[in-house]
Amino acid sequence: MRILDTLNFSQTTLRAYPARTALILLAMAIGVASVIILTSLGEGARNYVTGQFRSLGTHLLFILPGRSETTGGLPPLLGTSPRDLTIDDAIALKQSPAIRHVAPLLLGNAPVSHASREREVTVLGSSNEMQVIMTLEVIMGKFLPAENPRIGSPVCVLGDKLYHELFGNRNPIGEWVRIGSYRYRVIGVLGDKERAFGFDNSDAVIIPVASAQTMFNKTSLFRILVKASSADALDRAKEDVLRIIRQRHEGEDDVTVIRQDALIGTFDEILKILTWVVAGIAAISLIVAGILIMNVMLVSVSQRRAEIGLLKALGASTREVLQLFLSEALILSLAGGVIGLGIGFVGAQALQVWLPDFPVQVPLWSIIAALLVTLITGLAFGLIPARQAARLDPVIALAGK
C-alpha cells in the first residue's frame, strides 16, 4: 500500500469520527501549547535576567565578604572569622589603575515618610559612583554628591515609584523626607525603568553609605561594586582587588570576587535548566494526551473489528494493518502538534502584549522538541492499539466478536 493511500485512508477514518478526533487533537494541542508558552516564558526570563546584567556593561566585579571554603575537621583553637568589608576597603581599591569606579553598597529596610504618607521600602546606602556602575538614570534633580564616602550627608535619591507614592506629581526636589528616624533632603529621582539584578530600584531610596551605616548601626558593607577600566582590565582588576584586600586584612583571602560575565553565565545556565524543567513538566500533558490517543484508539479497534477482518480478507497483511492504525495516531499527533504550535504562538504573543517589558520568545528548540515529543508520544501510544488491530484473527474479526 502506498504511503499516500495509507494516510488518505486514515484521514477518512478520522473525519468519520469528528468528536473523537477533535478530542484527541485538543488534548495534543493543549500539551504542545503549554510547552511552547512555558518555554517562551522561561526563555524570556533568561533573556530578561541576562539582559539586565549585560545592560550594566560587561566589566563589573562584585566583592562579597567571606570566602567559599571546605569546612569540617577539628575546629581551630583560636576562632577566625572573615573580616567585614568596610568603606575604607572600598576607598583603598581605587589605588588600582585597572579599576575605574568603586561603589560600596549597604542594604536595609526602613519606613520613608513625607507629610502624612509613609511607605516601607528598601534603603540602599552607596556613593556617587553607583550611578555610573549601575547606569542609573536620574530624571529629576541629581544623584548623590561626589563626596568622601565616609561622610554621610542627609540627602537622598528616590526611586520613581516611591516618589509618586509620597509626592504624587509634585516636584520633590528640596523637600524633606523621614527615613527611619532621620531626616533627609530629596536631591533626585530615578527613572521609572530602574531595575537591576531583578531588584526594583523604583521602590527604593538611595542615601550615602555612611548615612546608611549610621541608620542601621553597622560598620560593614553588604557588597562592593567595582567597574574595571575596560573589559581587558577585568582580570587585572580582580587580582588587584584580592591583593589590596589581602593587604588590608592581614594577609587573609577573606572575600569572594565574582566577575559579572561569570554571574551572567551562571544565571544563564540556571534559567536554561529551569526552562527545560518547565518544558518537561508541560510535556507530561503530552503524555496524558498520548494515553488518551491510546484509549480512544483501543475503543476504535474494538469498534472496527469487522473492518479489520475485511481488510485482512482483502489481502492486507499484519504489517499493513499496523501501518494503517499507526498512521492514524501519527496524523492525530502531528495535527494536534501543529494546532498546539499555533495556540502556543498566539499565547506567547498575548503574553508579550500583557508583559511588554518581558522579552517573551519562543525558542526554536522548544518547537522542535514539542513536535518530536508529540510524534514519539503519538507513535508510542498508538503502537499498542495498532498491534492489537494487526494481530486480530480475521475470522473472529469478521464475525465482529
Partner 1 sequence: MIKLRDICRNFQVGDETVHALDQVTLDIAAGDYISVMGPSGSGKSTLLNMLGLLDMPNSGSYLFENKELTKLSEEKRARFRREKIGFIFQSFHLVPRLTAAGNLELPLMLTGMLPAKRRVLVQEALASVGLEDRAHHLPKQLSGGQQQRVAIARAMIMKPPLLLADEPTGNLDTHSGDEIIKTLEVLNQTGITLIVVTHDLELGQRAGRTIQMVDGKVVHDES
Query: By the criterion CB under 8 A, which residues form the site for partner 1?
Result: 1-2, 5, 9, 12-13, 15-16, 306-307, 309-320, 394-395, 398
Q: Which residue, 342 or 394, has its beta carbon nearer to partner 1?
A: 394
Q: Which residue, 146 or 306, has its beta carbon nearer to partner 1?
A: 306
Q: Which residue, 15 or 181, has its beta carbon nearer to partner 1?
A: 15
Task: Give the C-alpha distances (Å, rounded to integers) separating 351 from 154, 194, 344, 356, 362.
Answer: 43, 22, 10, 8, 11
Instruction: Of 381, 294, 378, 385, give the one whose Cα is nearest residue 340.
Output: 378
Q: Report the C-alpha gap between 174 and 158 in whole angstroms.
A: 12
Smallest gap from Cβ 297 to partner 1, in A, equals: 16
Q: Report the C-alpha gap between 257 and 223 in whole angstroms.
A: 10
Q: Report the C-alpha gap between 381 and 144 in whole angstroms.
A: 65
Smallest gap from Cβ 303 to partner 1, in A, equals: 11
Q: Which residue, 13 or 39, has its beta carbon nearer to partner 1?
A: 13
Name 249's Cβ contacts closer than 8 Å, sequence gap at least 6: 83, 255
Name 323's Cβ contacts closer than 8 Å, sequence gap at least 6: 1, 6
Contact 42, 35 (CB under 8 A): no
Cβ count within 10 A of residue 374: 29
Cell of 166: 509620597
Three-class SS state of 208? strand
Smallest gap from Cβ 35 to partner 1, in A, equals: 33
Smallest gap from Cβ 328 to partner 1, in A, equals: 13
Q: Report the C-alpha gap between 92 and 198 in whole angstroms.
A: 29
Q: Which residue, 238 or 312, has its beta carbon nearer to partner 1?
A: 312
Q: Which residue, 22 or 151, has its beta carbon nearer to partner 1?
A: 22
Task: Give the C-alpha distances (Å, rounded to integers) separating 151 from 146, 154, 164, 211.
Answer: 11, 10, 29, 8
Smallest gap from Cβ 334 to partner 1, in A, equals: 21
Smallest gap from Cβ 282 to partner 1, in A, equals: 35
Give the DSSP H/E element, type plus range, for residue 331. Answer: helix 318-354
Smallest gap from Cβ 12 to partner 1, in A, equals: 6
Smallest gap from Cβ 27 to partner 1, in A, equals: 23
Smallest gap from Cβ 304 to partner 1, in A, equals: 9
Instruction: Of 101, 156, 110, give the one whose Cα is nearest residue 129.
Output: 101
Q: Which residue, 291 or 399, has its beta carbon nearer to partner 1?
A: 399
Contact 319, 390 (CB under 8 A): yes
Instruction: Of 59, 61, 56, 69, give the one whose Cα is nearest residue 241.
Output: 61
Q: Which residue, 150 or 319, has its beta carbon nearer to partner 1?
A: 319
Q: Which residue, 254 or 328, has its beta carbon nearer to partner 1?
A: 328
Grid cell 500500500 in the structure block, residue: 1
